[in-house]
Structure 1
């Protein structure tokens, strides 16, 4: 993603929201998120797309504070859940999330359609 793409998507089209973690007025991390909806719960949720803390500031609870803030937003917005993906090889993040009370969703399989397959799926739909 480029700065221009992010500016367009976040500030003009409002496709997602971002919180910036700061220390002494300087950015040290961010969390990018958007709303989804659960038909199981009948409520919106917050999907965390990306959580990043600069390496020099990791291990100092900044990530925990940002997740806590998102949990507060969930409560304020009457959301049923806060969720995100984590790469299965990222053991330190997995342990960090588990300590916060997050549970891995092993019974779910993620599917994705991108690039030429996304275009093909769209073209097939338009033929119907």
Structure 2
């Protein structure tokens, strides 16, 4: 089992993992990402990074993350957007290994925290995260503006 930074030749695998995760989360119809979009935003604009988990050279999972910023702490944090391991490789320590690597990246970069969101119904993941010492932020609600609402807000409507 190895975990390494993703490179451009991993984009097909990253997109496949995104689609598999979306299927698991019952959101497959929401995936509009393409390899071209991922290349642009990850490698040209540097908006996100990914780690690839491998077994014998085969990609079996990924973690996609980016920096956020805490005004209270006055420094960046690492936000884990997606963590996915193919079902047949779960229970082997990949999730823990990905999170350890992300924690190490955060520490190496001087970040103040590592954060992520989890769907309320995803009990196996919630239990796993709590076992690692993660604490849910029950006092916070995530808000989102997207699609037509985003366009309307941008145009002043």
The reply on whether 1:18 has 2:85 as its aligned counterpart is: no
Aligned counterpart for 2:133 among listed residues 77, 80, 101: 101
The residue that corresponds to 1:2 in the other structure is 34
> Quick check: 1:45 aligned with 2:77?
yes
2:145 to 91, 104, 113: 113
Return the alpha-carbon distance in structure 2 between the equivalents of residues 104 and 8 of structure 1: 32
Worse-matched range after superposition: 93-102 or 35-44: 35-44
CA shift digits 1:30-82 (9 cap, x unpaired) = 00000011011111100000001011000111011010000001110011000
Q: How many residues in Structure 1 have an aligned counterpart in Structure 2?
A: 125
> RMSD value over aligned CA atoms?
1.0
Give the C-alpha shift of residue 2 in structure 1: 1.2
* 2:105 is the alignment partner of 1:73: yes
Instruction: Please give the TM-score of this superposition, normalised by the length of structure 1.
Output: 0.95
Larger radius of gyration: 1
Aligned counterparts of 1:5 and 1:43: Cα–Cα separation in 2: 28
Moved over 6 A (4+): none
Gaps of 5+ in 2: 1-32
Cα displacement (A) at 1:19: 0.6
Tell which deviates more after alignment, 8-17 or 42-51: 8-17
Kindly indicate whether residue 96 of structure 2 is the aligned counterpart of residue 64 of structure 1: yes
State the distance in 2 between where 1:59 and 1:48 align: 20
